[in-house]
Amino acid sequence: MSAVETDEAPAPTEPRPPVRQRPRRRPVLWASLAAGVVLAVLIAVFASAQPASEVLANSPLLGNTAPSISGAGLAGGHYSLGQFRHEWVLVNFMATWCEPCQEEMPQLLKFTKQHARAGDATVLTVVYDPSDVGQLKAYLAARSARWPAVNDPAASVPYGVTGLPSSFLVAPDGIVYAYMPGGVTAAELDSYIQQGAAKGLGPA
Amino acid sequence: MVAAERKKWLPALWAVLAVCVGLSLAVGSGAIGTGHGKPPSLYQRTLQVAGEYRCPVCAGESVAASQAPEAVEIRQLVEHWLQEGDSQATIRSFLVHDYGLSILERPPASGVTVLVWVLPVVAGTVAITGLGLGFVRWRRATVLGSLPEEGVAIAQPTAPRSEGGARSAHRLRQRVTLVAGAALVVLAGALWLVDRSSSARLPGATITGGLSGVNAELQEASAITASDPTEALALYDDVLSDDPDQPVALTAEGWIYAQAGVVPEAISLLGKAESADPGYDLPHLYRALVLLDDQGQTVPAARELSWYLAHGPDPAMVKVAREALAQAQATRSQGAPGPTNKSASSAKKLPTKR
Amino acid sequence: MNIALGQSALLLGLLGALAGAGTLLFGLRSGRRSLLRAGQGYILLVVLGAVLATVAMQRALITHDFTLEYVDNNDSTFTPLIYRITAMWSDLAGSILLWALVLSGYLTAMWIRFRKRAYEPVIVWAKVTGYVIAAFFFGLMLTLSDPFTRVHGAVPTQGPGPNPLLQDRVLVAFHPPLLYLGLVGFTVPFCFAVASLVTGQVGQGWLFETRRWSIFAWTCLTAGLVLGAWWSYQVLGWSGYWAWDPVENSALLPWLTATAFLHSAMVQQRRAMLRVWNISLVLATFSLTILGTFFTRSGVLESVHSFTDDGGVGPALLVFFGLVVAICIGLLVWRGDQLRTQGAIESPVSREGAFLANNLLFGAFAFVVLLGTVFPLLVQALNGSSITVGGPFFDTMTMPIVLCLLFLMAVAPVLPWRRASGELLRQRLLWPAAGAAGVLAGCVLAGLRGFWPLLVFTLAAFAGTSALRQLVLLVRRAGPRSIAGRSGGGMIVHLGVVLVAVGFAASHAYQHQTLLTMSVGRPASFEGHTLVFRGTKMVTSAGRSSLVATIDVDGHAYYPAIEQFALSDQSVVSPAVHSTPAQDIYLALTSVPTAADPDAGVAVYVTPLVMWLWVGGLVVVLGALLSLWPSGRPRAGPAEERSRGHAGDAHVSYGTVDGAEQETIDLPEPGKTGVGAAV
């Protein structure tokens, strides 16, 4: 039932048919080469692409006024971003179910401890997930995190949060100075503050 | 017999069917709905609008579909804005302002991203043209009898015929030139399209990307304007050295100078921005504020502000503009030079909207 | 023990593949038949290796052997048995094992099928290609993505279990295997295509050999895609089934080129034309499956469905893709122009013209999907900005293509080969047009509005009536048994596609949704249905605890729930769906009642004709299986047609059947090759 090929190689030992004279017009050749070029470009693009989760978006907020945040404090009281105009504020969106947020916590503790005396910088934790309020409160209390934590999940929208944790360093004049997605270190924060101080953005 | 009769009626039957289809489609066109007459509810409209935006924290879901906390927040905001009567374009500008262009599910048709809309159309046109040309060639060949009617492998000539060879070589050259020319034209057209729509200003004052790195420079400069105006000025100067008519850079420089108190420079830059891009609204606003603040020229200021308010202002700045206009008109009616208006001049370029 | 068994099995598979390829190549060079036979037998080593490795993995999963890192990441003592078995393909390393298993199975089947022709160069080269591909996957598992790595340090006693979304339905046991049967199945036609290009035997032989393989793979892929859509619908909570997600697109792309191939292969059978198209489509289909595995496993595109890549599998797959593409392009450059025939499609209004247009439309479809999927990467590389190309883009751009395809589906089956007159078309398309007009009028009278959905319904009715007409003619001519066979099966597939198109359009255009805040006992009404919230209860079962709400819809109880899985922070919304042929009522809990707020938030979606999607998919699969049925009718090849003359095509009186309607199913009898088979 084989489909008979009328051009089988004449000699059984020759694995390839005799070379034919090429036809003059060769559209398949040109089309294939063109396709090859396009594919080569595509492969180069894929090879140089970073994993999607690591692509850091630039925040549109940099250099602009930090959007306002206000809400009930987790440990009582009421907080708003405007209260902290005289110092550097690290606006930190987090949730207890986010592992990198938990990994970042020791750095935040270190940072606040270092600046506690000078009183020139603080952390403001913002609750990201409304259903996480109770757990976050307990979590912060368990770690003796004494900085303010505010229940304002709606703030994630004007801040353009695209993942957790997301931190925004707000200068004393209310402008967003730095954007650090994916976890901060105390050293990084200190260097930003020093840079800012050199430009005259010290606490008023 | 029957067949012949049927044949007679055929054209009439087809005409009836065509009329029926045409009429039905005409009647049936209109807002998509099942005809119960109810307008879509607020929730439905919210979901419809929300479906145009990507959930910022999810992997590939739209805001309408996702149950992530932030998506829920955005849906609530959209519902609120729809209730307040904001248009879809306004909502778009708010969200793009907060998240950048990547929140749009439909890529904006400007800058390099216009290619994603244009390339399929180009490819389709090329394909249809190729098909058409192929059919023409085939038709001619079969009619002339030079091609067998059955698929045959290309007959292998033993040696190329000399006179035929020269002619077909010439034809080959012609064809290659034609194709190469067409490809160049298409490429040039695409590049022109991309360049023309690059560095366009979108709602929310974000600038689309182009083939050059202007976008990145402008963003960087904008980011450091507040903290380091001198450095920002240098960056804007860089941009202007490549493109002296870049309206965004001119406007930003004008505003920096205005804040620094160098008013004549500010006014001249803003004026240049206005003439470079008459459709750009920000220079008008800034120029009005400067005129009002430092020179007390209420009449031209009021004119600029009216123009600004009439030409689709940035919703976040509407309040500021209205206040300034009201003040200008009040001052004018009082007949005294306008006092400085701290609130207007301390307004930053991109206030947020909650 | 499992680790040792697994790793040695993988090694066995790799060595078998390498030995097989080497032996065959050596045999070709030296011409020794014993080598050729032996080389093909090595496939048994490969399949043995794959099976043993699978056994080792399954054993480890079922017995909770936490010494394996893979088991540690994907299994837990709470997981029910079925999900332990399916955990083998829940994660990256195991999924490659499944791929290798399916591939070895196909290669073994290939060996068995072609045992009697073991010495033909085409078969040998096809096997060589198969061995090389198998060697790649086994090598990948041994180096970069080893499912049998040992856990570091102390052996844990518990693991997190598979992803909660993958433990919700038993569908996880069917969807990935079917998908892999489909995607991997296209390896066989690819091997034959490469072999025929390498040996220069580019006639119709390879096409006939692998037609049934291609249809089978296509059927499995279709079934896998439809099941995937159904699964998304049942689980994801937003009443959607296709999100144009990059991983979904990766599986759709080979389906598109494969569909084009299955159609245009008929032109090659009939008139020995479009050979370059067919070979290119087969090569493209396989390349796209490899590209798809790259997208799914490399993480360059964000997706709900992608595996996380820790081990550099992405770059390896990309390199493999590059090699495959280079070989394909190289072969086409070398031999492609010898493929071309000098036949002409003299009239665009003919069956060949329709199939050519079909190729272009599917090509355009694939182009749009591929462009949209990779465009964010291109823009990122070009100027660093990040943009999204989401569902709305694909919906807008593919809609005109789908409309054209529906139109073609209606017209092509009535077109005769070679050329058609307008009169012929007017006669044959009368009933389909009447059907379309009738359906449209009915929809408009029933109150449906909206230009695009109505247009889809009209064209779908056009195509559906045309397919029904073909079936009726077929049965009239050759009895009901003729439905089994290529022509009948094909028309049933078209009917299925029509159902899917209608379901898609209706469910997108006419969905109604709302968010209800329901208090216990108080009825709410929506779209003519009455809903009453009866209360919630906690249900705990092995490995999960669910908060189940009871909601009465028109008197029947439904149970949307929110499920929390042990050892995972993720909670999963488990919707309740009430499906009828007319509409689906879909309930998803959005906010649970608490002590402070006893009201439940329920999202209600009322969507028409969703069931038509699943039924349509089933019809497509059935039709494809029917088309695999061998039919005893002799094939009317080009020689036969020529001897009959063209009278049958040129004039038709209404109601008679001409050559175009005749079956051409089977392989040609030996000797009846006609001119067209010449190379």
| Mean local confidence (pLDDT), B309-313 | 65
Lowest mean pLDDT among C164-168, C367-371, C552-556: C164-168
The pLDDT assigned to C404 comes to 95
Q: List, in sequence order, every residue forming a beta bridge with C513; answer none if it has no partner.
A: C605
DSSP B295-332: I--HHHHHHHHHHHHHS---HHHHHHHHHHHHHHHHHH
Nearest of C96, C574, C558, C166 to residue C316 by alpha carbon: C96
- In this predicted structure, what is the pLDDT of residue C405? 96
Q: Do residues C287 and C154 share a domain? A: yes
Which residues of chain A does C678 touch, with a Cβ-Cβ cutoff of 8 Å?
A: 6-7
With contact defined as beta carbons under 8 Å apart, do C222 and C230 qualify?
no
What distance separates the 2 farthest-apart alpha carbons in chain C? 86
Kindly state whether residue C390 falls inside one of the protein's structural domains. no
- In angstroms and rounded to an integer, the radius of gyration of the C-alpha atoms of chain C is 27
Mutate which of B73, B173, B208, B248 to test chain A, going by most A C-beta atoms within 10 A?
Answer: B73
C161 plus C269 within the same structural domain: yes
Interface mutation vs chain B, best among C383, C389, C512, C514, most B CBs within 10 Å: C383
Q: Are residues C266 and C165 in the same domain?
A: yes
Per-residue model confidence (pLDDT) at position B306: 79
Both tokens assigned to B30: 């209109």
Q: Among positive and negative, which fits the CA dihedral C572, C573, C577, C582?
A: negative
Query: pLDDT grade, residue C257 (50/70/90)?
Result: very high
pLDDT (0 to 100) of residue C467: 95
Arithmetic mean of pLDDT, B28-43: 73
Residue C194, CB half-sphere, CA atoms under 13 Å: how many?
Answer: 27
Given this model, what pLDDT does residue B99 score? Answer: 87
**Distance spanning both ends of chain C, measured CA to CA:** 55
Nearest to B206 by CA among B344, B286, B111, B118: B111
Closest CA to A138 of A129, A149, A128, A124: A149
Residue C634 confidence (pLDDT) above 60: no
* CB C128 within 8 Å of CB C25: yes
Q: For the segment A150-201, what is each residue's pLDDT rounded down to a tens digit? A: 999 989 998 988 888 899 999 888 888 888 888 888 888 888 888 888 877 7
Widest CA span in chain A: 95
Position B214 scores a pLDDT of 65
Residue-averaged pLDDT of chain B:
75
Are C251 and C342 found together in one domain? yes
CA distance B314 to B225: 20
Helix (H), strand (E) at residue C285 = helix C275-298
- In the prediction, which pLDDT does C671 show? 35
Contact A60 B69 (CB under 8 A): no
Give pLDDT, residue B335: 54
Predicted confidence at residue C216, as pLDDT, reads 95
Query: Closest chain C residue to A27 measured between Cα atoms?
Result: C337
Q: What is the pLDDT of residues C229-241, one digit of tens each?
A: 999 898 887 888 9
Confidence of residue B351 (pLDDT cuts 50, 70, 90): very low
Distance from the Cα of B294 to chain A's closest Cα (Å) equals: 24
Query: Both tokens of residue C496?
Result: 């299925």
In a domain, C251, yes or no: yes
Same domain, C580 and C448: no
Q: Which amino acid is at A34?
A: A
CB C177 within 8 A of CB C89: yes
Q: Which of A135-139, C411-415, C592-596 has the lowest mean pLDDT?
A: C592-596
Contacts of B76 in chain A (CB under 8 A): 154
| Interatomic CA distance for residues C310 and C214, integer angstroms | 34
Note if the bond before A165 is cis, omega within 30 degrees. Answer: yes
**Residue at a domain's end among C570, C591, C610:** C610
Q: What is the pLDDT of residue B197?
A: 62
Which residues face C563 on adjacent strands?
C546, C572
Q: Is residue C678 predicted with pLDDT exceeding 50?
A: no
End-to-end CA distance of chain B: 78
Among C14, C278, C24, C215, smallest CA distance to C133 is for: C14
Q: Is the pLDDT of residue C136 over 60?
A: yes
Identify the band that residue B330 occupies on the pLDDT scale cut at 50, 70 and 90. confident
**Cβ atoms B283, B274 nearer than 8 A:** yes
Which residues, 6 or more positions from A80, have their beta carbon under 8 angstroms from its beta carbon?
A: A68, A69, A70, A71, A150
pLDDT at C633 exceeding the cut of 80: no
pLDDT score of B179 more than 90? no
Cβ-Cβ pairs closer than 8 A, B with C, add up to 249
- Give B 42-101 residues with CB within 8 A of chain C: 43-44, 47, 51-52, 54, 58-62, 64-67, 100-101
Residues 145-164 of B with CB under 8 A from C: 147-155
**Does C385 fall in a domain?**
no
Residues of B in contact with A65 (CB under 8 A): 348, 350-352
Give the per-residue pLDDT at C672.
36
DSSP code per residue over C207-238: HHHHHHHHHHHHHHHHHHHHHHHHHHHHHSSS
Confidence of residue C50 (pLDDT cuts 50, 70, 90): very high
Distance CA B139, CA B142 (A): 5
Burial of B212 (0-12, 13-18, 19+ CB in 10 A): middle
Highest mean pLDDT among C28-42, C287-301, C657-671: C287-301
- Closest alpha carbon to C610 in C585, C635, C627, C590: C585
Structural domains counted in chain C: 3
| Residue C218: band (very low, low, confident or very high) from pLDDT cuts 50, 70, 90 | very high
* Nearest-angstrom CA–CA distance, B345 and C171: 63
Position C644 in a domain: yes
The lowest-confidence range among A131-135, B184-188, C64-68, C230-234 is B184-188
Same domain, C152 and C209: yes
DSSP state of B145: T
Structure tokens at B135: 């059919």
Does a cis peptide bond (omega within 30 degrees of 0) precede residue C416?
no
- A17 and chain B in contact, CB less than 8 A: no
Radius of gyration of chain B (CA): 31
Q: Which of B161-175, C225-239, C342-356, C369-383 has the lowest mean pLDDT?
A: B161-175
Residues C437 and C574 in one domain: no
Band (C161; pLDDT cuts 50, 70, 90)? confident
- Looking at C153-274, list the stretches that DSSP marks H as alpha helix, in order from N- to C-terminal side: 175-185, 187-199, 205-235, 246-271
Helix or strand or coil: residue B351?
A: coil
Answer with the one of C347, C370, C392 that is the final residue of a domain: C347
Least confident of B66-70, C145-149, C662-666: C662-666
> What pLDDT was estimated at residue A53?
65
- % of chain B at pLDDT higher than 70: 74
Beta strands A121-127 and B201-202 are: unpaired
Q: Is residue C144 part of a domain?
A: yes
Amino acid letter, B164: G
pLDDT at B138: 77
Mean pLDDT of B160-183: 69
- pLDDT top residue among B131 and C542: B131
Do residue C6 and residue C122 come from a single domain? Answer: yes
Q: How confident is the model at residue C184 (pLDDT cuts 50, 70, 90)?
A: very high
Q: Is the dihedral of CA C133, C138, C142, C148 positive or negative?
A: positive
Beta bridge partners of C591: C601
Of B200-204, C9-13, C374-378, the least confident = B200-204
Q: Are residues C335 and C268 in the same domain?
A: yes
Span of A95-99, B12-16, B193-197, C535-539 with lowest mean pLDDT: B193-197
Which residues in chain B are closer than 8 Å to C678, comparing Cβ atoms?
A: 152-153
The reply to whether C326 falls in a domain is yes
pLDDT tens digits, residue range C63-92? Answer: 988 888 888 888 888 788 888 888 888 888
**In the numeric block, which tokens belong to residue B288?**
């009005």
Distances in Å between the Cα of A72 and the Cα atoms of A199, B120, B349, C641 are 34, 52, 30, 85
pLDDT above 80 (res C61): yes
8 Å CB contact of A43 and C321 = yes
Which tens digit of pLDDT belongs to each residue from C447-497? 888 899 999 999 999 999 999 999 999 999 988 888 888 889 999 999 999
Would you state the structure tokens that stand for residue C667, as one six-digit string? Answer: 């392989």
Please give the pLDDT value at position C47.
Answer: 94
Phi/psi of residue C201, each to 5°? -90, 80
- Average pLDDT score over residue span B202-223: 61
User: Among A5-9, A51-55, B151-155, C13-17, which is the least confidently predicted range?
Assistant: A5-9
The rounded radius of gyration (Å) of the Cα atoms in chain A is 30
Nearest to C631 by CA among C662, C603, C606: C662
Considering the domain boundaries, does residue C378 fall inside one? no
Q: How many residues does chain A have?
A: 204
Q: Domain for residue C400, yes or no? A: no
Interhelix angle C2-30/C33-41, nearest 10 degrees? 160
Least confident of A151-165, B189-203, B204-218, C255-269: B204-218
CA distance A143 to chain B (A): 25
The candidate with the shortest Cα–Cα distance to C277, out of B173, B350, B131, is B131
Q: Would you state the pLDDT for residue C569?
A: 65
3-state helix, strand, coil in chain A (%, to 5): 35, 20, 45
Report, as an integer, the average pLDDT of A122-149: 89
End residue of a domain, out of C554, C589, C610: C610
pLDDT of residue B279: 66
- The amino acid present at C648, given as its one-letter code, is G
Q: Residue C363's pLDDT is what?
A: 95
Q: Kindly tell me if the per-residue pLDDT of B237 is higher than 70.
A: yes
Task: Output C302 or C536, whichever has higher pLDDT.
Answer: C536
Q: Give the sign of the dihedral formed by CA B83, CA B88, CA B93, CA B97.
A: positive
Average pLDDT in chain A: 81
> How far is the C-alpha of A16 from the C-alpha of B114, rounded, in Å?
49
CB neighbour list of residue C31: distance below 8 Å, 6 or more residues apart: A12, A13, A15
Quick check: B117 pLDDT over 80? yes
Highest mean pLDDT among B50-64, C132-146, C305-319: C132-146
Q: What is the Cα–Cα distance from B6 to B10, expressed in whole angstroms?
A: 6
The set of residues, in sequence order, having a beta carbon less than 8 Å from that of B334 and lying 6+ positions away, is none
Going by pLDDT thresholds of 50, 70 and 90, the confidence category of residue C255 is very high
Residue C528: how many CB atoms within 10 A of its CB?
A: 10
Contacting residues of C for B13, CB less than 8 Å apart: 430, 434
DSSP β-bridge partners for residue A121? A88
Q: Residue C173 — very low, low, confident or very high, per pLDDT cuts 50/70/90?
A: confident
Are the C-beta atoms of C190 and C129 separated by less than 8 Å?
yes
Q: In this structure, are C73 and C216 located in the same domain? A: yes
Domains of chain A: 63-198 (3.40.30.10)
Do C516 and C540 belong to one domain? yes
Q: Supply the DSSP string of B110-124, one letter for each residue.
A: SGGGHHHHHHHHHHH
Distance from CA of A39 to the nearest CA of C (A): 8
CB-CB contact of C479 with C488 (8 Å): no
Q: What is the mean pLDDT of residues C162-189?
A: 88
pLDDT band at B30, cuts 50/70/90?
A: confident
Q: Tell me which residue of C237, C156, C111, C290 sits closest to C561, measured CA to CA.
A: C237
Partners of C532 in beta bridges:
C523, C552
Q: Per-residue confidence at A40, pLDDT binned at 50, 70, 90?
A: very high
Q: Are strands A88-94 and A121-127 parallel, antiparallel or unpaired?
A: parallel
Compute the half-sphere exposure of residue B247: CA atoms within 13 Å on the CB side of its CA.
20
Q: How far apart are CA C294 and CA C299, in angstroms?
A: 8
Residues C309 and C432 in one domain: no
Q: Would you say residue B153 has pLDDT above 80?
A: no
* AA identity, residue C393: F
| Distance (Å) from the alpha carbon of B92 to chain C's nearest alpha carbon | 15
What H or E segment, with its residue span, contains residue C650? Answer: helix C647-650
Q: If DSSP states are collapsed to H, E and C, what string results for A137-169?
A: HHHHHHCCCCCCEEECHHHHCCCCCCCCCEEEE
Domain that holds residue C654: 416-510+612-677
